[in-house]
Amino acid sequence: MLNRIRSQKGLQLLIGLLLGIAFGFLLQRSGATYYEVIIGQLLLTDHTVLRLMLSAVVVGMVGVHLMRSLGWVQLHPKPGSLGTSVVGGLIFGVAFAILGYCPGTAVAAAGQGSLDALLGGTLGMVVGAGLFAASYPRLKPILNKGDFGELTLPELFKVNAWVVVVPVAAAIVGLLWWLDGVGS
Amino acid sequence: MARWSPYAVGAGIGVLSWLAFLLSDKAIGCSTAFARTAGMVERWWRGDKVLQKEYYKRFVPAIDWEWMLVLGIVIGAFLSAQLSGQFRWEWAPALWRTTFGAAAWPRVLAAFVGGALMGIGARWAGGCTSGHGISGTLQLAVSSWLAAACFFIGGIVTAQLIYGLAG
């Protein structure tokens, strides 16, 4: 059944579209598509983005690992290295503050009428991705620095996934609870 | 403001991630769509030789699941904004206008520069706030926890510089 659904190309494009519509709807409804909310998060005055991301991670992590334990799904951890995650992550972070949106919230902001996100951000991201594609062969020595592949934390610690899932979920819930106590 | 609780929205996005794994054997992400779009534009402009580029062999310039997801985000956000009466054409956000003035072009230029840097950074890191920040961290991927931490370190420092100096 699942394999039939997963192997139908047209159906998959439709599922992608429908999941995107739900994702965009939710992002806009939370306010995370507003420049002020994202800059507020980076200035540490508005924790909407952190609350949203961490609750998505807790719910997603428990459900996906449960489905994996049942043999319904496989994980797809991204490969990485110090050169990609740290250097690329810091470049992304600087851009995050200049743009005031991330890739998903930029296109969502375009949908709510934010022209800076559409004509500046979205266009800029296409140009930037193209520049990266053009420079990719020359960047490879940096990208391969400190390569660790498709490693997950349970693999790193050589333990069952649930040994990491449970404390991480507890830590996130604790952090959110503390955040609400502190206010803002 | 008809805003929903970030916890409810986050939980909803968590459920969407279940559906993506279950129905499509995929993790939700956004940033490869921009690389594929760049490749499609280049191909239209310079022809099929573009397909020989090493990066476009890995990320073929064509419409795929993730590209449709990004298209869906625009539609979903539009529907939400329309239904709640929040849809509004706007050149520069209020916080930008009160700090840097009401003119449209400085904000669009800054957004373009930030966007270009983000396109580079997202592909450099191999993911964005969705692909690494949510989908990767929930899979407990080392690459994603490291990248997500660096997104916020870079973002927090830069935002303090921009608004600390300007404000």
Q: Where are the domains of chain A?
A: 2-182
Same domain, residue pair B46 and B118: no
B163 and B137 in a common domain? yes
What pLDDT was estimated at residue A183? 59
Q: Are residues B164 and B111 in the same domain?
A: yes
Candidate from B30, B141, B149 with C-beta closest to A103? B30
Tokens of A50: 């952190």
The answer to whether A150 contacts B141, with C-beta atoms less than 8 Å apart, is yes
Given B88, B119, B141, the domain boundary residue is: B88
Three-state DSSP state, A154: helix
Query: If you measure CA to CA, which chain A residue comes closest to B15?
Result: A60
ipTM (interface predicted TM): 0.96
- Check whether residue B99 and residue B158 sit in a common domain: yes
Question: Could you tell me the pTM of the whole model?
Answer: 0.96
Q: Which of B54, B88, B122 is the last residue of a domain?
A: B88
Contacts of B136 in chain A (CB under 8 A): 77-78
Domain span at residue B152 reads: 90-167
Q: Residue B86: closest CA among chain A residues belongs to which residue? A: A112
pLDDT (tens digit per residue) in B57-79 = 999 999 999 999 999 999 999 99
pLDDT in tens, chain A (184 residues): 899 999 999 999 999 999 999 999 999 999 999 999 999 999 999 999 999 999 999 999 999 999 999 999 999 999 999 999 999 999 999 999 999 999 999 999 999 999 999 999 999 999 999 999 999 999 999 999 999 999 999 999 999 999 999 999 999 999 999 999 875 5
The answer to whether residue B151 scores a pLDDT higher than 70 is yes
Residue A17 C-alpha, separation from nearest chain B C-alpha, in angstroms: 5
Q: Which amino acid is at B11?
A: A
Q: Give yes or no: residues B76 and B34 share one domain.
A: yes
Residue with tokens 């190309």: A9
Identify whether residues B105 and B142 lie together within a single domain: yes
Q: Considering B88, B112, B145, which residue would you say is the last residue of a domain? A: B88
In terms of domains, do B83 and B97 share one?
no
| Of residues A114, A45, A27, A98, the one with CA closest to residue B110 | A98
> Looking at chain A from residue 18 to 57, which residues have their Cβ under 8 Å from any Cβ of chain B?
18-36, 39, 42-44, 48-49, 51-57
What residue of B is the nearest CA neighbor of A1? B23
Number of folded domains in chain B?
2
pLDDT, residue B166, reads 67
Do B105 and B145 sit in the same domain of this protein? Answer: yes
Residue B144 sits in the same domain as residue B155: yes
One domain for residues B43 and B33: yes
Question: What local confidence, expressed as pLDDT, does residue A184 receive?
Answer: 52
Other CB atoms within a 10 A radius of the CB of residue A87 amount to 20
% chain B with pLDDT above 70: 98
CA–CA min distance A174, chain B (Å): 14
Q: What CA–CA distance (Å, rounded) separates A180 from B9? A: 16
